[in-house]
Chain A
Amino acid sequence: MSTYLIAEHKDGQLKKASLEMLSECLRQGTQPTCILLGHGALEAAAGELGKAGASKVVILEHAELASYSSEGFANALYGYLSKQSPSVIMAGASWQGKDYLPRLSAKFNAGLASDCTEFKLSGNSATVRRPVFAGKCSQAVSFSSGPAIFSVRPNVLAVGGDQSTTPQIEKVAADVGQIRAKVTEVLSSGQKKVDLTEADIIVSGGRSLKSADNFKLLFDCASVVGAAVGASRAAVDAGYAPHDMQVGQTGKTVSPKLYVACGISGAIQHLAGMRTSKVIVAINKDPEAPIFQKADYGIVGDLFEVVPHLTEELKKLKANS
């Protein structure tokens, strides 16, 4: 059995999702070969994998892998992995993993299971469980032929303790093949936002926010605890928030430790996107709002009054800790 874990990094900084997958493999008694792609300065990321228990890290190196491309990553990975007869290949269900894994699977003539919340390694294959319908239900998936290729949702599996292993590092000159779709520019929206799918805490707003300006209330609250700000479909469709903030069936599916729903009634398609949050708080004027049926803590009240107080209380907490 050969299990490969494609680790992800941003400018050499390892993504937590990679450690989550690694820890889960080790808990199941499997030592995966970790793969990093890039161009130089990946020793720190490899060391971090070692600290979490990885004994072998392969670095696929090429100048063209310094920035992400679906073709470059899929070609480099296939070039290496097709010589290893892998039985399991996993990666994080990030914007990168979701982008290159379908291509890599097609190259292997294999199937793919995306965004899994559980995996079980057994013998020469794996079975996974993944939410469908944005979490309204889930399915088990098994692989009938080819390597079992799947991506794992960040923030679901626990990171294990420090193992302090020094991994064996193998550097391989990658073959990136032909890259036709190339990044020519990176546009930043200015404010540095916490990514919704990786956030530990999300403060989310609905149509009751009444305007895009009023979302500042939520950003102020979120910034105290390093939270991301989300929005309901109603708020996005009303133009109060951009689509990349939408949580729900036609937006992002999230599972933070804490989800604070402000002025969100709890439509079925919104609940689908956030129901796996560990703790849900609802703040809503309407005591009959369906969100209260799902919330661990409910505040019946006007968000315009409650949220500023909440921000103050969180500031006090931070000041005292």
Chain B
Amino acid sequence: MNIIVLVKQVPDTETKIKISGDKKSIEKTDVKWVINPYDEFAIEQALKTKEQLKAGSVTVVSMGPDRVVESLRTAIAMGADNAVHVKTDQPLDSYLVGKTLAEVVKKESGQLVFTGKQGIDDDQAATFGFVAEFLNWPSASMVVKCEIAADKITVQREVEGGTRFVLQMPAPAVIAVDKGINTPRYASLPGIMKAKKKEIKTYSMSDLGMASEAIKTVSADYALPPERQAGKKLSGDAASQAKELVRLLREEAKVI
């Protein structure tokens, strides 16, 4: 089975966000770039699936400027077989990313796609659905358990209030994974050596027939939220603190 993993490179969660001068994006200097944490679970799930099926390959795909190659090499060091870089510096949105990545999946003859449930930068949680629809494949998101047997895929997805759905679908499909599905492995030393030498396939947007495609949503006017001010500290012993807190929440804040 040719397994494709769609990977996004994002600023590390510890990044303190600053807004760029034109307010059209965040300030990208001094950002530590990492693989989107949810996509790390997707890579691990793809590697596990290949090991379990004892056949096939894992190809990681990422879109963006040259810096994303570093994330692709990290994925190879973890155990991925191949990597594809869709090289572009243009602005992207969920539509354009979804449509482009669907073309990559077709070109690479993908039979199963894993990705993270959302990028922790744009928080759109939409790539999986766009890709699935453009490929006309079934999909599942927020997947916390995934079993692949022959051409039948069984997943569990989180819904609300502690409920899980068990879903079945035929392959090929797009599976967007959530935290908790597995524990991503570390890169091995031989893996790191292999990753350094591995040739990474590069596509331009026009290689994928996407030269005339454009984004459908335009983002602008980035803003930082208002800073919260530190409020009151309550004094006394635990009993009187608790009593005073409940009084304030009731009478002053009026939230209970």
Q: Give A residues with C-beta under 8 Å from B.
A: 70-71, 74, 94-95, 98-103, 105-107, 109-115, 130-146, 180-195, 197-198, 201, 225, 236, 242-244, 246, 249-251, 253, 257-258, 268-269, 275-276, 278-281, 292-302, 305-306, 309-310, 312-314, 316-317
- Once bound together, how far apart are the Cα atoms of A141 and B129, in whole Å? 20
Q: Which residue of A lies closest to B99 (CB)?
A: A106
Q: Could you tell me if A183 and B167 are in contact, using CB atoms closer than 8 angstroms?
A: yes
Instruction: Name 12 A/B residue pairs within 8 A (Cβ), A-sorted.
Output: A70-B139, A113-B217, A130-B123, A138-B222, A140-B221, A143-B218, A144-B218, A194-B161, A268-B13, A280-B228, A298-B232, A314-B256
Interchain nearest-CB distance for B154 vs A (Å): 8
Q: Could you tell me if B238 and A292 are in contact, using CB atoms closer than 8 angstroms?
A: no
B54 interface contact, C-beta 8 A: no
- Once bound together, how far apart are the Cα atoms of A201 and B253, in whole Å? 13
A191-B162, A194-B161 are known contacts. Are A243 and B121 too (CB-CB below 8 A)? Answer: no
Q: Could you tell me if A106 and B161 are in contact, using CB atoms closer than 8 angstroms?
A: no
Q: Could you tell me if A102 and B126 are in contact, using CB atoms closer than 8 angstroms?
A: yes
Q: Could you tell me if A137 and B222 are in contact, using CB atoms closer than 8 angstroms?
A: yes
Q: Which 7 A-B pairs have the closest CB atoms?
A: A102-B129, A111-B216, A111-B217, A309-B242, A106-B133, A243-B180, A296-B231
- Once bound together, how far apart are the Cα atoms of A11 and B67, in whole Å? 48
Contact of B253 among A185, A194, A296 (CB under 8 A): A296
Q: Could you tell me if B221 and A102 are in contact, using CB atoms closer than 8 angstroms?
A: no
Q: Could you tell me if A111 and B93 are in contact, using CB atoms closer than 8 angstroms?
A: yes
A144-B217, A278-B255 are known contacts. Are A250 and B37 too (CB-CB below 8 A)? Answer: yes
- Once bound together, how far apart are the Cα atoms of A278 and B215, in whole Å? 35
Q: For B243, list chain A residues within 8 Å (CB).
A: 309, 313
Q: Give B residues with C-beta under 8 Å from A.
A: 11, 13-17, 19, 26, 37-38, 93-95, 98-99, 120-130, 132-134, 138-142, 144, 154, 156, 158-170, 173, 178-180, 214-225, 228, 230-234, 238-239, 241-243, 245-246, 248-250, 253, 255-256
Q: Which residue of A lies closest to B173 (CB)?
A: A181
Q: For A135, list chain B residues within 8 Å (CB).
A: 225
- Once bound together, how far apart are the Cα atoms of A10 and B163, in whole Å? 13
- Once bound together, how far apart are the Cα atoms of A174 and B233, in whole Å? 57
Q: Could you tell me if B220 and A139 are in contact, using CB atoms closer than 8 angstroms?
A: yes
Q: Which residue of A lies closest to B174 (CB)?
A: A181
Q: Could you tell me if B133 and A250 are in contact, using CB atoms closer than 8 angstroms?
A: no
Q: Could you tell me if B242 and A250 are in contact, using CB atoms closer than 8 angstroms?
A: no
- Once bound together, how far apart are the Cα atoms of A107 and B134, in whole Å? 8
Q: Could you tell me if A112 and B222 are in contact, using CB atoms closer than 8 angstroms?
A: no
Q: For B216, list chain A residues within 8 Å (CB).
A: 109-111, 143-146
Interchain nearest-CB distance for A288 vs B (Å): 12
